[in-house]
């Protein structure tokens, strides 16, 4: 599976809400709260928070929990204003 970037982390705007986006970058910070995982994904334009919740497949959630600082990943999902149901997937390079 290959993720071709559609946006840079710093380029996401309110007009992108509910659109499917693909981001590539480095994990700046990862926080796991049981069935909720937060990743700060960074590239040269900024930082975007990525959220994985219990609505994603369990294997993806387990992989998200294993991510560490400075891993280079690609993420595909929908952009939301706040936490919302969103299918996310990722690829570690």
pLDDT tens-digit map of 15-50: 888 888 999 999 999 999 988 999 999 999 999 999
Between CA 10 and CA 32 the distance in angstroms is 23
| 73 touches 28 (CB < 8 A) | no
- Owning domain of residue 20: 9-92
What confidence category does residue 81 fall into, taking pLDDT thresholds of 50, 70 and 90? Answer: low
User: Is 16 in a helix, a strand, or coil?
Assistant: helix
Q: What is the pLDDT of residues 65-80, one digit of tens each?
A: 999 999 999 999 887 7
Locus of tokens 């929990």: 65
Q: Is residue 3 part of a domain?
A: no
pTM (two decimals): 0.80
Say which CATH number the domain at 43 has: 2.40.50.140
Judge contact between 23 and 86, C-beta under 8 A: no
Does 9 or 15 have the greater pLDDT score?
9
Query: What would the two tokens of residue 82 be?
Result: 């706040």
Measured from the Cβ of residue 71, the count of other Cβ atoms closer than 10 Å reads 16
């Amino acid at each position: 599976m290959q993720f071709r970037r559609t946006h840079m982390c710093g380029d996401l705007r309110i007009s992108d809400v509910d659109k499917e986006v693909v981001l590539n970058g480095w994990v700046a910070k990862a926080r796991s709260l049981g069935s909720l995982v937060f990743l700060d994904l960074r590239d040269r334009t900024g930082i975007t928070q990525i959220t994985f919740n219990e609505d994603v497949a369990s294997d993806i959630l387990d992989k998200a929990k294993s991510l560490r600082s400075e891993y280079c990943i690609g993420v595909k999902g929908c952009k939301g204003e706040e936490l919302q149901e969103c299918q996310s997937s990722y690829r570690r390079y």
